[in-house]
Structure 1
C-alpha cells in the first residue's frame, strides 16, 4: 500500500485532488494533505509518504522551494508538480530538482491516473529490486539484541553502519530504509520482551525527528538500552561476570541465588538459566567450588586453624565443611594440610 501527500493552499483544490488520487489506484491506502511547503516538510519527516503532489504558488514556502528542499533531504521521493503556470522555464527548474511529472491546471482525472500509475510502477520496480533476505534481517536483529543486552553501544553502532552499507549497495531508497528501520525497531522490542526477564516499553520518539535513514532504529535501541541500565540498577557489566564478583566478595556466608539475582535486577529463574548457560555450572556448584578453592588457599597458611577456615568460607557446620572439602579434593582438610607438610 502507498501513501501520498497533497500540498496546496486552496482547501477545495486540495480536497478535490486528494479524492482524485485516492480513486486513481486501489493500492493507495491514504492521501494526506498539507497547506504549504513548511507544513509539508513536517509531515514528510513524520510519515514518509511514497509520493508527493504539490502546487507551486503557496504562502510560507512555495512549491519550487519545497521541491528544492525535498531533492536535498529526500531525493528518492517522487514529486508531481501541479501548476497554473505554463512557462517552460518554470517547468525546467522543477525538473532540475528531481520532479517526475508536471501537470497543468485544471488537472483531469485521466492525467492524475496516468501520473499515479507511472510513479507507482516505478516504486514497485524499485521495491522488487531491493529485496532483503530474511536471513539478513535475522542477523541484524541478533546483533542489535546482543548489543543492547550486554550494554555495548559500540556494537549497535557497528551493526547499524553495516545495515546502511548493505542498503546503499542494494539501492534502497529513503522510504524503504525508513520502513525497514521501523520494522526492525518493532521486532527488536518483541525479541527483548520474549526473554521474559524485564518488561520493555517502546521508547518515545523525540519531537524533532532526525532525517538519518535509521533514526527510528537508533532511537529505539538507545531507549531500550537505557531501560535496561535502569532495570539493572546501573550495572554496566556482563550479568554473570558481575555475579561472580559478588559471589567472591561473599564466600564467607550462605549467599543465595535469589539475593544475587536481586542485586543484578534479574528474575531468579532467568538468572539461574543464564548462569548455567554461561558457566556450565549451577549457581550452587560454582559457589561451592569457589569456597573450596579459597579453603585450599587458607589451609596452605600454617597459622590458620581448620575451624577458622571453615567459618571463613561460609560453613558454620564444621563436619559439613570436612565432607564437602573431601568430595572436591579427595582429601579431608587435615589430610590436605599434611600433604603440604603442615601440621595441625
Structure 2
C-alpha cells in the first residue's frame, strides 16, 4: 500500500492531516512526520515513502529546497506542497519541480481525498509496470558512469579520440566550443546555525538541481557535483561574440532566483571556451582560479578573465616598475631581491592606500598571481606546504601590523623563489623537448599526459597548453602520430599479425587500434598493408 511522509513545523497541521487520511478509509498510510526539510531527508532515507506532503515555510530547510533535493536523490518520490502563503512564485516553482499539486491552507478534506486518489492511480500504474524497476536501475548505472566520464573531462584523462566513450554514457557536445563554470555557495550568505544544522552537501544538491533547470531551458550542457562544495557546469555553444553576455545573463538569472527563493547567494567561476575535449581541463582550472578572486572582490557574481579585468582595472598597477622588478626576481630565482622588492612594494601600498581593506585586496591580487604561476609550474603544494591557498590569503588578511604583514609576505615570496630554484635544478632542457624525447623512446608503453606532467614537474593543464603552443598540435595527437608512423612501418616491412603490431605500438585494444588507424589513414590496417604491397 502507498505510504506518506508529512512535513510541517506546526504540529496542529501534520496531526490534522494524519487524522484526515486515517478517516479516508483508503490504502494510504502515514508512516512518519517531520518538522522541516532536514529531518524529512533523514526520514525519507529511513522509510522510503511514496509521497511527501510538505509545507513551504519551515526552519533550516524549506519546502522548495526539500523538493530540489528529493528530485535529485529520490526522483520516484511524489510531492504535494501546501502553504498558507498565497504566493504564485512558490506555486510556480513547486509545479516546475514536478509537484503533483499545490494546496492552500486550510484546504478542504474532499480536495485532499481527490488528490490522493489521483496519485494512488498513478502509483498503482507504475508498480504494475514490470520493467520499470529494471529501467530505473539501468538509468542509475548509466548516471554513475556519466559522472565518472564528466569528472575525467575535468582532469584531462578523456582524450579527443574517445567520442565513443562519451556516446556510450549519453554525453554529447554538439556545438564547436565547451565552457566550464564552477558554482559555489557563498558561505557568508548562510547563518552559522543554519549551515551547521545541515549536511553541507545538501546545499550543493539544491544548487545543482536549480542550475540544471535553467540550463535545460536556455542552453546545452551538463550540470554535476564534483565535491561537497563544487557544482560544475559544462556548456556546449558556438564561438560567437555574445557567449560571454549569454552566460552572464544565465548566471545572473540563476543567482537572483536562488536568492529570492532561499536567501542564499552563489558565485560562478568561468573558464575560457575549450575547442576540444582535452582543453576542458584547462577551462576548469581557469574557472577555479577565477573563483579564488572572490576573496578579493567578493561573491554573488560571475568571475572570469574578462570580468576580473574590468573589476580590477582601477586597483593594483600591474605595469609599475616595482611590480615588474618583483616578478622578474621571483622568476629568476633571485631570493634576496625578491624579498627586497616585496618589502618595497608592500610599503608603498601601505603608504599610498589609506583604506586597510583595499590594501588587503591588492596584496591578495599579488599573491594570487604568484599562486597561478606556482600551479603552472606544479609547485603550489610544495610552496604552501600543503595549506590551501584560501587559508593562506585569509591569514595574510588577518595581520593588522605593517611589520608583521611585510614579514609574512616576504616569507611567502622567498619560499616561492626557493621552490623555483629547486625545480630548475631538476632539469635544464625544455619540458616539451623532454616529453618529445620520452614519447619517441617509449611510444609502445602506456603513456598519459598526467604521467608526462609528473616527469617534467608541470601541471597537466599547463603542459598541455605549452605543448600545443610549441609544437602546433596536442600531446595526444603527437603521441598518436608517432604510434601510427611505427604501425605503418611494421605493416609494410614485417609479416607480424595486426594484433602484434597493435600491442607493439602502445594499443592494448585491437579495436581501438583499428579505429584510430582508420581515422588517421582512411583505411583499415589490412587495407593499408595490401594497398602498399600491390
Q: TM-score when scaled to structure 2?
A: 0.26
Q: TM-score when scaled to structure 1?
A: 0.38
- Computing the radius of gyration over CA atoms, which structure comes out larger, 1 or 2? 1
